Structure 1
């Protein structure tokens, strides 16, 4: 069944293109935060953690990695385990970019992988089928090359709530984001060790960075806490 936004996309196309150009022209481009992208923290049983994805995984919207997703998640996990962690994330990366990036890494072992992807697949007009295939390829790479036993695929954010996006652009992108997110949920029922974690942060402007597009440190704290609750025991 064709959704309403897909039916209206053609007549709305001139307006959507104009809004997209305007958003890109006026967008405040925040840098990726400073700070280490790998390390070891905590004590106890060892856990090897990989965090990969786009600008949200990289921590855009925070001033330092300690305030970003990686730093806040590692600090929570370090109260239970000795966490050997690595961050592989870049602004603008879609699933295909992350797949290429990780395939170029030397073979090494991780227990847990956190994936934060989807927004750039939405804005890049990646189809549902291609997105699902690339996510499946990514899961296979993580399992076969890096020995990952637990993959936590963070849900595609609710783009329609981004303060920086005007209507109807926010609506059309948001509907596509929900479709891609449903594909992630489907994969979690098909791939062993692949878990879909809905991106259910409150749609509160107070949790947005100054660009109106990325999370701020408060949002990263909520996100990290949600992930830490999901990682209750080292995977076996």
Structure 2
């Protein structure tokens, strides 16, 4: 049996067969090489074109979007500035309102204190005035002294001695004395009081600020002194019935 007919054995090639196989392999390899080179170059060119394309497209398509983002950022910045300004304005307005309220309260307080001080000064002045106002005794000396003070204020002349002398002659110092027997009494207008003044004379020469009564000692003395000043120049010049 020959080697080629034994199963499982590889048949050996002769020299010519080996050369033929080698030639075929060489041709096939060359063909494959020629077919692969152009394809590889084209693929590389296409790869470069494809890799460059997105840059162009991204640049063209992203420009409006970038501008939109920039505008949005500017708008947000402007809005933030406006909010800050509004907050500052509100803060300043609030501070101004607080200041105005404080000033108003201060003015009210100052006015109240001024009014209180004025009232206190008025009270003190009134107290001092009352302290300076003499208190006259309810007797002949006091009546004459008070009448002299009123006469001085009204410009009516007269002295303590002139008043006292005429009072003692006319009524002995009795403010309720009434003459019921002279001509005046007969005529229905009796002389009354410390200086024995009739009603018509008292009414004509009554001095304001004194009671309108002939029996009031101060009013009687002052009216009589006013009458004597008009008729005789002063009560000091009267030494008898007048």
TM bucket (normalised to shorter chain) is under 0.3
Higher RCO, 1 vs 2 (CA within 8 Å, ≥6 residues apart): 1
Larger radius of gyration: 2
- Normalized per residue, the structure richer in strand is 1
TM-score normalised according to structure 1 size: 0.21
- Normalized per residue, the structure richer in helix is 2
TM-score normalised according to structure 2 size: 0.21
